Structure formats: C-alpha cells, structure tokens
Amino acid sequence: MVALCSSGKDPDWPDALDEQTGLFTYYGDNKRPGTELHNTPRKGNLLLRDVYAKCYGTADDRRQIPPFFLFTAIGTWRDVRFRGLLVPGAASSNPDDDLQAIWRTKDGLRFQNYRSRFTVLDVPTVTRAWIDELFAGEPEGPYCPSSWREWIEGRVYRPLLARRTTVIRTREEQTPAEGEGQAILTAIRSWFADDPHRFEQCAVELWRMMAPATGRTELTPRSRDGGRDAVGEYVLGPAADRIGLDFAMEAKCYGPRNSVGVREVSRLISRIRHRMFGVFVTTSYVDRQAYGEVRDDGHPIVLICGRDIVDILRSHGYASVAEVERWLASRFSMPAAAR
C-alpha cells in the first residue's frame, strides 16, 4: 500500500482535491532543480511512472498496483485526515492526461516533475480487515471494497462524489490565505493601475486558462459595453460536430478592500439572454449579498475571485510574483508609467 500525504499548501506544486468530481491532482517529489526526474530520494516519481504504465494494461497488470491512501494535513502539528482510496487515472481522461512530465524553473534552473491525476473511489471507509488482508498479500480477499475490485477487473471508475452544500463563499474563502498569493494579486493590480480597463483582456486569458474549451472571444467597446466587458463562446461536442454556448463577461480590477456588490453583478445578469451564461472576474471578492442573490436565484454566473486567479496561475506554472510579472509582460502591454 501507499500512504500519499499532501499539505495542499505548496504554492509551487498545488495538489488539489475536487470533492465534487472525486478527482485528485498530485505533483511528484522532484520539486527542486538538480535531480533527474526519477532519481528522487524516496523514489516517488519512479513509483508514479511504473503505476501509470500498468494502469491501462490488463487486469493482471493492475493487480500489481498498490492501493493509494490519501491523507491531507489539517494544520495542527503533524495531524492528517484520511480523504479516500485512490486509483490512478480517471474516466474522463486518457494516458496523456493522467501522467505528465512538466517543466518548471526555479532559481534560474529548469527541471521536470510529474503531474498526476487520481480518482477517489466510492469507498467511504477502509476497514481494518482489508488492511490486514493487504499485509497478508490478499488484496482481493473477502473484505476488498467492491469499487477497488471493479477497477482491477475492468478499470471501472466509481468516484466518491460529495456535492458542496456551502454555495456562498466567505470573503476569506475568496481571497488568498498567504502572503505570496496576496502579492501576486497586488502585482496584477499594479500592472493595470494606469488603466483598469486593460484588465479585461487579462480576465479573458484567465478564463481561457481555466476553461480551455473556450472558442472565439471579443472585447466590447469601452463606451458602450452595456455591462459586458467581453463576449465569447464555450465549445462543446465532438470535433466533427461542435456546438457553442454564448457567454458574457464582466471584469473588475479591484483592490483587496473593494468588494463586488449587487450593482456590478446585476448589470451582468441583465445582459444574459436565454441559453447564455455569465463570467465575472475580479481581483477582489464578491460581497455576501451579491453572492447570495446569484446563487439563491439560480443565475448561471461563474464567479472567479482573487484566490481563484492565484490558483489558476499556479496551476499553469506561475507561482511567484516574478513569474506572474513575466506572464503579464509577455501577453499585455507595458503600463504607461513603466515605459
């Protein structure tokens, strides 16, 4: 068996558990330059390589894969919480997506690490009896969970899904909890401080990073945007027969104490027609009243706040202020004050 422990707080390698889909993104253990991808002290990346090589093979191949038990830190000393039984891969992905060797730069040096995707199986409780069977070399004994057995036999993914009950995020949940994340948002605000309207293009790029199936997009004229800073299309379906869902976007480059209120959100809602959805992007947060009205009334609005922006950038390798500033310089014009 493998005990996989994650703090979930490494900004350079943001492990993430999506409880609503049962998917867990995990980064390997080659987190600093100077070491070859598989030559890590605990051989974690070597294990990932071998496990994913067997994942798409036969049932006998998968029988050589150990159960992964996921634990995450809870913030008190070394205490951890059991989060679920993992298997490599996902029903919605392919071998190229499940395990990827990605390049990162640290201290001016480039190196590789793995980004892997696991599925949390629908096994709410792992019994001591099954653990005893694992130690005894009988992983498919009488106490083996049925979801594990099905995955071994036919690579059937039955994820543990947990629908979120709290749909109104607090201010704290919408803003970065640590200094580096706050500094990243400050860098973005500073970049567009001379003209906050320029942030609209940045908001489109952030949305495209989050939703890669986004098709055409167009910024609206400033003088008559009518509550829409951009319009676009989100593409669905097979490559030979795609359909597009139209969306409208509003973007606000606000300071950390300037929240998005009912007035701003209402302008976007009023511009959404039948079979459209909205995207609201802000470097700040949405106040509780506005957030509540969007969710309670069932408006199809995606709310992307300060913490989401930091998470999006980190998931694409921009984990520090310097990296984010290089990303801004490569895609958006230099602020007038810096020219």
Q: Count Cβ atoms within 10 A of the Cβ of residue 249 and give its class: 0-12 exposed, 13-18 middle, 19 or more buried.
A: buried
pLDDT of amino acid 158: 95
pLDDT class of 291 with cuts at 50, 70, 90? very high
Of 157, 147, 151, give the one whose Cα is nearest residue 23.
157
Of 332, 334, 325, 324, give the one whose Cα is nearest residue 12.
324
Q: Count Cβ atoms within 10 A of the Cβ of residue 53 and give its class: 0-12 exposed, 13-18 middle, 19 or more buried.
A: middle
In CATH, 171-338 is 3.50.50.60: no
User: Dihedral of the CA atoms 117, 122, 128, 132 (nearest 10)?
Assistant: -60
pLDDT at 191 over 90: yes
Paired with 6 in beta bridges are 72
pLDDT of amino acid 200: 95
Give me the residue spans of the domains in the chain.
2-154, 171-338
pLDDT at 298 over 60: yes
Q: Which segment of 161-165, 206-210, 288-292 scores lowest on mean pLDDT?
A: 161-165
For a pLDDT cut of 70, what percent of the chain falls above it? 96
**CA pair distance 167, 165, nearest whole angstrom:** 6
pLDDT at 162 over 60: yes
Cβ atoms 228, 205 nearer than 8 A: no
Which architecture, in CATH terms, is 2-154? Roll (2.30)
Q: Assign 33 to helix, strand or coil.
A: coil
**CA pair distance 205, 212, nearest whole angstrom:** 10
**CA pair distance 104, 27, nearest whole angstrom:** 12
Q: Is this structure's pTM higher than 0.75?
A: yes
pLDDT at 163 over 80: no
pLDDT of amino acid 19: 87
Task: Report the first-to-last Cα separation within the chain, whole angstroms.
Answer: 57
DSSP per residue, 249-271: EEEE---TT--B-HHHHHHHHHT
Question: Distance of CA 16 to CAs 8, 122, 181, Å?
Answer: 7, 18, 16
pLDDT of amino acid 207: 97
Q: Which segment of 123-137, 151-165, 175-189 scores lowest on mean pLDDT?
A: 151-165
pLDDT at 94 over 90: no
- The model's pLDDT over 205-264, given as tens digits with 9 standing for 90+, comes to 999 999 999 999 999 987 655 557 999 999 999 989 999 999 999 999 999 999 999 999
pLDDT of amino acid 165: 66
Long-range pairs for 311-315: beta carbons < 8 A, 24 or more residues apart: 311/14, 311/16, 312/206, 312/209, 312/210, 313/184, 313/206, 313/209, 314/11, 314/12, 314/14, 315/14, 315/16, 315/209
Q: Which segment of 12-21, 66-75, 113-122, 135-144 scores lowest on mean pLDDT?
A: 12-21
